[in-house]
């Protein structure tokens, strides 16, 4: 695989029912070759990927054999039956990628239009993962470029503008976008799974009736669950494996202990534990857990802490109170040391699930990595948690006192919300209308002429003068009213904007202007990106690039100016507001350029003086 | 809101008030005016506590000339914390509206175990060892020893507190246990002794019932409370049981063995003292001759559990001559233990009255009644003289002396019952000698006598006229309030059949039927998928719960449940259960949702609320029966009949048992108090809602069902009496959808107001409350 070539044992078939010819299928960069085991067989195959138009495969989990079906452009189909699904998947991905490259830019674009973006991205990602960079680098990059290109049609425009206009070279343009896909890939991996809520470790041991053998089935996921629920086992693993015993021996011992535990044969468990100290570790109560319990019980919600009740109960001193009145249940006392019940396990499991122990899926490979990853995440958590533990406690206590309050006795805090009355939609809309009418009435009532509000302000100022500064200088409602009315005329846009959700300034502009604005914005952004990334200027190449960029920027500046002048006067104010940040960015860049240029010039003058 | 009830301005920290809260306050105010006791019943979910607190604090604010103190008793520490949280909320409101005048000191008091901040002491396992560890550092002789020997460890927090002396005071405010600990840590003062000291000065003291009812504790903590106090017993429906438990002692084999060990150790100590400091024992003897059982000036840190008998019954006399000398007293104790050992060695159940028991002790062991009576004080004095600090080691001998003192003090109201084994497990010999108190009025009598007003209140006190007889007092106000609901926010259902139409029950012969187990499991699996947030399940016993969870685990039902919700379980370990509960709440808070499995008579059912999203559905698997063949219960019934003319039937219906005396067919009966406990804590306010499923075919029978509390029965529609799983599922869906709709909170649409605003209350105040509401 790493050489960019895949070879698998397959059976080649011309139709599904065909028995097939056993042989080897090799996939190389641009072609696929099938060589039958029997060299005399006629069914050889050697064809280029570019003739393959489509591929299909059987889904995992179906009863069918793992098969890959390739269709050529002549309509013939080639069916390969693999030995395993794993093989099938590798080959399928290879074919898929090869297909992609064959399609070229145009083909990918077509696929994209058929809404298959995700499949393609997935294919490419797999391909990148599985193959060394050099071999496929160029082709994949080509693909990436295309995808980007199509995904962002603005990009296309930009590309035309800058690369076509000679401001940037092709390489420069794409260099800033290399990470686009990687970012996408990263985002996907970031979601980390917690523990499953069902108890895996409780999966029953498999007992076959004939022999006395008991089989436990452990997967990395189960191991992870065991480790996070039983920290003592985790610690024992880290201590013993591999220095003292092998991985397998460890788990054999563990399973033995589990088996004893489950068979409820306490006597046997004690006997075995006495002989084998490592086995005893698994049977003994978990001391780490006990410590943790002691720590946790102190931070438990005091309104349900039943442990404190016990500490306060003087009537039930040993042998005080009524011992046998039929209401209390008789507790069966056994050997405490070796008794762990299912109920305890369930509680522990649920607690761990609730706490969450995120581990990356990739780390679920073997027990060793699981153990280490868990250890690391634990350490991270313990360092992180110490700081916010106390604050979290505070918050919880606050939550408790809030929970103590009776909700419906509190005054309703009016949000001017229409109650959601699902029973009858008409009621709902009616009440909404009513409330909107109400608010509009209130709004009209609230407006005053600017004269009035100015008068109000003066009045309150004189009041302050006479009475001195009392705590709230002006009643906040008055202040707000005055301010809003006085500023109403200064900027009507500001007043109107943001009042209604789903409406933005851009929507109110004519489409042509809006598009132009957006385009300018994007292109300025692009220019800035390149401009600032080329500082400090260390070589001539960068120097020329910056000069080119600068010219482009000044062109852009004038274009903005023109745009501003061209628009209708009634929206010019808004446009100016929108354009201003762009212009500022351009100006800043230009200033920087000038300053740098001057510095360079002075340096250049100094140098000859100093040396010659 | 702020309103007038007659001349008192009541500060209520909400903008609205329920009408029943208002009338509750009016009645309570009348009782306070009359300086008498009262009995008030109001269903849970109506904000009893806040109504009580705001009326009494407002009353205290209005009557500044004769300040009253509030002593608020809760059953458990976590209820105490809840009360203090509400009080804090109220206090903030009052301070905001009244300023500094409303400032008060409110403290919660608990044991050393819950208050100690000394890390070496508080790490001890249980309460007794914390007490002992504290004594080891703070006892007066230890401290005087430390004054000479700097290596003698002491507790710095206690020393600092002691040094600050009168300066050590708590500033005004509301202190929960956590606040007290934080304050103590900050100042370096011992919070336990500080709190005990401040109890005298506080305006509000919140602590557990026992601190007032159990003479052992009340003797040291509540000695100095003033008469002008209002004592409140909240959630008091079990108060009679607390009272009789406070005066009951049981002696088992382990106790006697431990007592023998204790006696030999005391003997060694005496010998040791004879060698080094014989004068001390002589001084003690002289003191006893003078008639002082204890030195009068015991420092607070020396105080031990007080005499188990009630203060009025303790004789102020000299200790009788035959137990004055330490050696003689030990001989008496030895003979007593020996006698009890012989008594315990029986193979049939015996019942005796204290009088005949004392007589036989006198004839067989030669210990007279007076000597028995002084046993406790004599032991206490001896242990002090011997400077014993590890008191947790001497609990057994203390039990024996408690027993002796009680049996020597009380001739009636008690009986002694010796049982060779638990009747439910006749094969396991576990003999126990129980001195059980039958008369709840004994323990509570001093409280009624001492304090001006005692308020007994709970969600269920019916029949309300029975309590005054049981507790032997005369309330000036005795009222029962009904809850007015704005909408049908509780939905009880009786499920009799599984989805396969086979009956479900925990009846003995059906209990282990795999079909029933499966049907119960299927019910839960279906419910977890439709009910949001928290679900609570109650089982009839631990063993049944253990069995059913194991079989659900094997059949994969548990896995299905876990697909939807996390599972937490009550175990017999209190710490683990507490953590499980805490996690359960977290899971409900964060939206993950969880199921809590609990036992109908367990600690959780007794005192944990599953209100709001913590309990949208309660499932009761089976019928929780109390074992009524118990000898103790029988003896109590007999006593009640003879003394208070309370018929067995009355008491049993009250305790929700069917009359065992007449119906011999069933010896197990539904306990209403229990059933009400389990399902009655789902509603916190009128805005809350919840469902209850009673999953047993026997609930469809009228005689069983009628034992459920009235407020549940009134919501139980006939259509919901005989459901199968799929029908219940349908009803649950409908109910949840209905509850999700907005509703008119004030209930003005239904004609009667269920929520009053400021204006309404003012109108009420003018017209008189009675007309509008009734």
Strand B38-41 and strand B477-480: the pairing is: parallel
Chain B closest-CA separation from residue A293 CA (Å): 8
Confidence at residue A201, expressed as pLDDT on a 0 to 100 scale: 55
CA geometry: angle at B150 spanning B145 and B153, to 5°?
A: 75
Chain B closest-CA separation from residue A64 CA (Å): 30
Closest in B217, B543, B603 to A314, CB measured: B217
A477 near B CB under 8 A: no
Residue B255 to residue A400, Cβ atoms within 8 A:
no
Confidence at residue A196, expressed as pLDDT on a 0 to 100 scale: 67
Among A223-232, A386-395, B600-609, the minimum mean pLDDT is found in A386-395
Residue B250 to residue A318, Cβ atoms within 8 A:
no
**Cross-strand partners of A469:** none
**What is the DSSP code string of B88-143?**
HHHHHHHHHHHGGGG--EEEE---HHHH---HHHHTSSSHHHHHHHHHHHHSHHHH
Q: How many CB pairs under 8 A join A and B?
A: 264
Cα–Cα distance for residue pair B371/B324, rounded to 1 Å: 10
Chain B closest-CA separation from residue A333 CA (Å): 11
Residues in chain B with CB shorter than 8 Å from the CB of A402 are: none
Cα–Cα distance for residue pair B338/B342, rounded to 1 Å: 6
Higher pLDDT, B559 or A11: B559
Residues in chain A with CB shorter than 8 Å from the CB of B562 are: 197-199
Q: Which of residues 400-459 of A touch B (CB under 8 A)?
A: 400-401, 403-412, 419-423
Q: What is the mean pLDDT of residues B261-287?
A: 87
CA geometry: angle at A594 spanning A590 and A598, to 5°?
A: 170
Q: How confident is the model at residue B774 (pLDDT cuts 50, 70, 90)?
A: very low
**Best interface-test mutation with A: which of B81, B92, B406, B592 has the largest number of A CBs within 10 A?**
B81
Confidence at residue A393, expressed as pLDDT on a 0 to 100 scale: 65
pLDDT above 90: percentage of residues in chain B: 33
Confidence at residue A280, expressed as pLDDT on a 0 to 100 scale: 77
Confidence at residue A206, expressed as pLDDT on a 0 to 100 scale: 60
Residue of B nearest to A300 (CA): B582
pLDDT digits (tens, 9 = 90+) for A570-588: 777 777 877 888 888 888 8
**pLDDT exceeds 50 at position B543:** yes
Confidence at residue A77, expressed as pLDDT on a 0 to 100 scale: 76
Residue of B nearest to A398 (CA): B85
Residues in chain B with CB shorter than 8 Å from the CB of A315 are: 210, 214, 242, 245-246
Among A76-90, B118-132, B506-520, B537-551, the minimum mean pLDDT is found in A76-90
Confidence at residue A566, expressed as pLDDT on a 0 to 100 scale: 80
**pLDDT exceeds 50 at position B555:** yes
Residue of A nearest to B591 (CA): A354
Winning range, highest mean pLDDT, from A83-87, A126-130, B430-434, B734-738: B734-738
Q: CA gyration radius for chain B?
A: 28
Q: What is the mean pLDDT of residues B325-342?
A: 92
What value does the mean pLDDT of chain A take? 69
Residues in chain A with CB shorter than 8 Å from the CB of B541 are: 329
Higher pLDDT, A506 or B504: B504
| Token pair listed for A268 | 């046997």
**pLDDT exceeds 70 at position B434:** yes
Residues in chain B with CB shorter than 8 Å from the CB of A329 are: 541-543, 599, 601
Name which of B652, B445, B615 is nearest B527 in CA terms: B615
Residue B114 to residue A312, Cβ atoms within 8 A:
yes
Confidence at residue A338, expressed as pLDDT on a 0 to 100 scale: 54
Buried b (16+ CB within 10 A) or exposed e, A443-462: eeeeeeeeeebeebbeebee
| Token pair listed for B192 | 């336990």
What value does the mean pLDDT of chain B take? 84
Residue B434 to residue A401, Cβ atoms within 8 A:
no
Q: How confident is the model at residue B565 (pLDDT cuts 50, 70, 90)?
A: very high
Q: How confident is the model at residue A320 (pLDDT cuts 50, 70, 90)?
A: low
**Best interface-test mutation with B: which of A350, A397, A402 has the largest number of B CBs within 10 A?**
A350
pLDDT digits (tens, 9 = 90+) for A20-69: 778 888 877 667 788 887 777 767 777 776 677 677 777 766 667 777 77
Chain B closest-CA separation from residue A509 CA (Å): 42
**Best interface-test mutation with B: which of A401, A409, A414 has the largest number of B CBs within 10 A?**
A409
pLDDT above 90: percentage of residues in chain A: 0
Q: How confident is the model at residue B573 (pLDDT cuts 50, 70, 90)?
A: confident
Confidence at residue B475, expressed as pLDDT on a 0 to 100 scale: 93
Higher pLDDT, A65 or B67: B67
**pLDDT exceeds 60 at position B659:** no
Residue A410 to residue B559, Cβ atoms within 8 A:
no
Confidence at residue A442, expressed as pLDDT on a 0 to 100 scale: 44
Confidence at residue B601, expressed as pLDDT on a 0 to 100 scale: 74
Q: CA gyration radius for chain A?
A: 37
Q: Which of residues 188-217 of A touch B (CB under 8 A)?
A: 197-199, 202, 204
The DSSP 8-state label assigned to residue A313 in this structure reads -
Please, which residues have CB within 8 angstroms of residue B450's CB and are 6 or more apart in sequence? Answer: B225, B227
Cα–Cα distance for residue pair B232/B528, rounded to 1 Å: 40
Confidence at residue B671, expressed as pLDDT on a 0 to 100 scale: 42
Residue B601 to residue A328, Cβ atoms within 8 A:
yes
**Best interface-test mutation with B: which of A308, A328, A421 has the largest number of B CBs within 10 A?**
A308
Higher pLDDT, B423 or A336: B423
Chain A closest-CA separation from residue B574 CA (Å): 6
Closest in B16, B249, B422 to A320, CB measured: B249
Closest in A306, A397, A409 to B16, CB measured: A409
pLDDT digits (tens, 9 = 90+) for A84-115: 777 777 777 777 666 655 555 455 555 555 44
Winning range, highest mean pLDDT, from A141-150, A541-550, A596-605, B364-373: B364-373
Confidence at residue B658, expressed as pLDDT on a 0 to 100 scale: 29
Chain A closest-CA separation from residue B388 CA (Å): 19
Sign of CA dihedral A163, A167, A172, A174: negative
Strand B534-539 and strand B617-621: the pairing is: parallel
| Token pair listed for A498 | 């943001």
Residue B578 to residue A323, Cβ atoms within 8 A:
no
Residue of A nearest to B593 (CA): A354
Residue with tokens 């067919």: B665
Residue B251 to residue A319, Cβ atoms within 8 A:
yes
**Best interface-test mutation with A: which of B47, B53, B258, B574 has the largest number of A CBs within 10 A?**
B574
Q: Is the pTM of this model over 0.95?
A: no
Confidence at residue A333, expressed as pLDDT on a 0 to 100 scale: 46
Name which of B31, B26, B59 is nearest B452 in CA terms: B31
Q: Which helix (H) or strand (E) holds B656?
A: none
Cα–Cα distance for residue pair B335/A327, rounded to 1 Å: 33
Cα–Cα distance for residue pair A547/A545, rounded to 1 Å: 5
Higher pLDDT, A364 or A446: A364
Confidence at residue A1, expressed as pLDDT on a 0 to 100 scale: 41
pLDDT digits (tens, 9 = 90+) for A176-221: 666 555 554 444 444 555 666 666 555 555 655 666 666 777 777 7
Q: What is the mean pLDDT of residues A257-267?
A: 73
Q: How confident is the model at residue A397 (pLDDT cuts 50, 70, 90)?
A: low
Confidence at residue B425, expressed as pLDDT on a 0 to 100 scale: 72
Please, which residues have CB within 8 angstroms of residue B691's CB and are 6 or more apart in sequence? Answer: B490, B491, B492, B493, B531, B616, B617, B618, B732, B735
Confidence at residue A188, expressed as pLDDT on a 0 to 100 scale: 44
Please, which residues have CB within 8 angstroms of residue B245's CB and are 6 or more apart in sequence? Answer: A315, A316, A320, A321, A322, B437
Q: Provide the ipTM.
A: 0.83
Confidence at residue B702, expressed as pLDDT on a 0 to 100 scale: 79
Residues in chain B with CB shorter than 8 Å from the CB of A292 are: none
């Amino acid at each position: 695989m790493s050489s960019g070539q895949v070879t698998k044992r397959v059976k080649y078939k011309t139709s599904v029912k065909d028995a097939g010819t056993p042989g080897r299928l090799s996939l190389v960069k641009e072609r696929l070759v099938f060589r039958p085991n029997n060299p005399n067989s006629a069914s050889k195959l050697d064809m280029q990927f570019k003739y393959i138009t489509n591929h299909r495969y059987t889904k995992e989990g179906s009863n069918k054999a793992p098969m890959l079906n390739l269709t050529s452009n002549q309509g013939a189909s080639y069916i390969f039956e693999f030995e395993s699904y794993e093989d099938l998947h590798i080959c399928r991905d290879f074919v898929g990628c090869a297909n992609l490259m064959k399609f070229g830019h145009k083909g990918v674009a077509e696929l994209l239009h058929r809404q298959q973006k995700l499949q393609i991205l997935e294919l490419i990602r797999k391909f990148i993962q599985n193959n060394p960079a050099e071999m496929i680098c160029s082709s994949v990059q080509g693909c990436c470029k295309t995808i980007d290109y199509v995904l962002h049609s603005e990009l296309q425009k930009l590309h035309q503008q800058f690369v076509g206009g000679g401001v940037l070279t092709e390489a420069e343009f794409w260099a800033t976008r290399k990470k686009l896909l990687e970012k996408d890939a990263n985002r996907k991996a970031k979601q980390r799974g917690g523990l499953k809520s069902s108890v895996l470790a409780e999966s029953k041991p498999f007992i076959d009736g004939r022999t006395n053998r008991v089989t436990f089935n452990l997967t990395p996921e189960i191991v992870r669950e065991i480790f996070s629920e039983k920290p003592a086992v985790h610690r024992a693993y880290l201590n013993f494996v591999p220095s003292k015993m092998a991985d397998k021996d460890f788990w054999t011992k563990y399973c033995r202990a589990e088996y004893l535990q489950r068979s409820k044969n306490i006597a046997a468990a004690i006997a075995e534990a006495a002989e084998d100290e490592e086995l005893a570790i698994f049977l003994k109560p978990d001391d780490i857990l006990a410590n943790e319990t002691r720590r946790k019980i102190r931070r438990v919600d005091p309104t349900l802490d039943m442990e404190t009740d016990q500490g306060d109960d003087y009537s039930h001193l040993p042998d005080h109170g009524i011992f046998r009145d039929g209401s209390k249940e008789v507790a069966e006392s056994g050997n405490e040391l070796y008794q762990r019940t299912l109920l305890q396990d369930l509680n522990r499991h649920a607690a761990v699930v609730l706490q969450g122990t995120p581990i990356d899926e990739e780390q679920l490979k073997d027990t060793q990595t699981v153990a280490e990853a868990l250890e690391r995440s634990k350490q991270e958590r313990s360092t992180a948690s110490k700081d916010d533990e106390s604050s979290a406690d505070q918050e919880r206590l606050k939550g408790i006192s809030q929970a103590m309050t009776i909700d419906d006795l509190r005054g309703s805090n009016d949000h001017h919300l229409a109650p959601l009355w699902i029973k009858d939609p008409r009621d709902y809309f009616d009440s909404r209308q009513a409330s909107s009418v109400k608010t509009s009435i209130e709004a009209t009532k609230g407006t005053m002429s600017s004269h009035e509000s100015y008068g109000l302000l003066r009045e309150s100022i004189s009041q302050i003068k006479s009475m001195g500064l009392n705590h709230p200088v002006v009643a906040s409602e008055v202040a707000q009213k005055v301010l809003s009315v006085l500023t109403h005329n200064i900027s009507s846009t500001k007043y109107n904007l943001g009042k209604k959700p789903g409406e933005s300034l851009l929507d109110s502009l004519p489409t042509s202007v809006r598009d132009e604005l957006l385009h300018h914005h994007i292109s300025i952004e692009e220019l800035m990106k390149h401009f600032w990334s080329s500082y400090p200027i260390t070589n001539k190449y960068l120097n020329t690039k910056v000069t080119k960029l600068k010219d482009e920027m000044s062109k852009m500046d004038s274009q903005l100016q023109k745009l501003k002048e061209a628009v209708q006067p009634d929206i010019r104010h808004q446009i100016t507001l929108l354009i201003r940040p762009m212009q500022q960015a351009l100006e800043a860049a230009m200033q920087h350029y000038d300053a740098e240029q001057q510095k360079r010039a002075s340096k250049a003058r100094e140098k000859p003086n100093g040396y010659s | 809101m702020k309103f007038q009830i007659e001349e008192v301005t009541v500060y209520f920290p909400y903008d609205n008030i329920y009408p029943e809260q208002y009338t509750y306050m009016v009645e309570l105010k009348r009782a306070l005016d009359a300086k008498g006791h009262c009995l008030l019943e109001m269903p849970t979910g109506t904000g009893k506590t806040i109504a009580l607190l705001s009326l009494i604090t407002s009353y205290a604010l209005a009557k500044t000339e004769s300040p009253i103190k509030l002593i608020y008793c809760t059953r458990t520490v976590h209820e105490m914390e809840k009360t203090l949280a509400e009080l804090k909320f109220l206090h903030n409101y009052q301070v905001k509206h009244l300023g500094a005048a409303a400032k008060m000191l409110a403290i919660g008091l608990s044991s050393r175990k819950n208050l100690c901040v000394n890390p070496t002491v508080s790490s001890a396992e249980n309460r007794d060892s914390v007490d002992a560890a504290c004594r080891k550092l703070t006892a007066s002789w230890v401290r005087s020893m430390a004054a000479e020997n700097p290596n003698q460890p002491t507790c710095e927090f206690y020393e600092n507190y002691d040094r600050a002396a009168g300066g050590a005071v708590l500033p005004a405010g509301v202190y929960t246990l956590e606040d007290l600990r934080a304050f103590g840590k900050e100042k370096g003062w011992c919070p336990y002794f500080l709190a005990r000291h401040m109890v005298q000065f506080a305006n509000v003291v919140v602590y557990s019932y026992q601190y007032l009812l159990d003479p052992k504790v009340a003797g040291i903590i509540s000695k100095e409370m003033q008469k002008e106090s209002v004592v409140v017993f909240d959630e008091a429906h079990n108060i009679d049981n607390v009272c009789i438990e406070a005066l009951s002692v049981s002696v088992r084999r382990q106790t006697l063995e431990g007592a023998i060990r204790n006696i030999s150790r005391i003997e060694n100590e005496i010998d040791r003292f004879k060698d080094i400091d014989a004068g001390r024992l002589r001084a003690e003897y002289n003191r006893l001759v003078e008639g002082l059982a204890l030195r009068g000036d015991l420092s607070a840190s020396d105080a031990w559990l007080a005499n188990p008998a009630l203060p009025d019954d303790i004789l102020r006399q000299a200790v009788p001559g035959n137990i004055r000398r330490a050696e003689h007293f030990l001989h008496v104790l030895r003979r007593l233990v020996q006698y009890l050992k012989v008594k315990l060695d029986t193979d049939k159940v015996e019942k005796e009255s204290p009088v005949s028991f004392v007589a036989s002790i006198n004839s067989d062991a030669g210990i007279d009644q007076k000597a028995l009576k002084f046993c406790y004080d004599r032991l206490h004095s001896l242990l002090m003289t011997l400077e014993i600090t590890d008191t947790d080691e001497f609990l057994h001998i203390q039990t024996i002396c408690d027993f002796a003192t009680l049996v020597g003090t009380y001739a009636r109201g008690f009986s002694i019952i010796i049982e060779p084994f638990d009747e439910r497990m006749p094969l396991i010999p576990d003999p126990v000698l129980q001195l059980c108190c039958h008369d709840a009025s004994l323990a509570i009598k001093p409280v009624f006598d001492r304090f001006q007003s005692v308020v007994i209140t709970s969600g269920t006190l019916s029949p309300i006229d029975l309590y005054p007889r049981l507790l032997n007092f005369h309330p000036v106000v005795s009222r029962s309030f009904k809850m007015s609901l704005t909408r049908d926010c509780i939905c009880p259902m009786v499920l009799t059949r599984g989805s396969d139409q086979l009956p479900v029950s925990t009846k003995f012969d059906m209990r282990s039927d795999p079909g029933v187990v499966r049907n119960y499991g299927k019910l839960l699996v279906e419910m977890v998928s439709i009910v949001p947030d928290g679900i609570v399940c109650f089982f009839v016993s631990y063993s049944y719960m253990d069995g059913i969870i194991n079989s659900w685990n094997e059949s994969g039902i548990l896995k299905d449940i876990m697909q939807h919700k996390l599972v937490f379980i009550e175990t017999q370990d209190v710490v683990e259960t507490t953590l499980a509960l805490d996690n359960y709440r977290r899971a409900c808070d964060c939206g993950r949702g969880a199921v809590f499995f609990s036992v109908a008579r367990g600690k959780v059912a007794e005192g944990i609320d599953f209100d709001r999203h913590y309990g949208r559905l309660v499932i009761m698997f089976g019928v929780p029966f109390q074992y009524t063949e118990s000898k103790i219960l029988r003896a109590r019934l007999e006593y009640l009949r003879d003394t208070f003319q309370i018929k067995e039937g009355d008491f049993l219906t009250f305790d929700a048992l069917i009359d065992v005396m007449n119906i011999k067919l069933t010896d197990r009966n539904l306990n209403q108090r229990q059933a009400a406990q389990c399902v009655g804590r789902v509603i916190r306010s009128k805005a809350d809602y919840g469902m209850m499923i009673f999953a047993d075919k026997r609930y469809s029978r009228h005689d069983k069902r009628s034992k459920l509390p009235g407020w549940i029965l009134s919501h139980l529609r006939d259509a919901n009496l005989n459901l199968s799983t799929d029908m219940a599922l349908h009803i649950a869906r409908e109910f949840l959808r209905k509850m999700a709709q907005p509703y008119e909170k004030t209930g003005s649409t239904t004609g009667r107001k269920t929520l009053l605003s400021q204006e309404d209350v003012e109108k009420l105040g003018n017209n008189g409350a009675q007309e509008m509401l009734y």
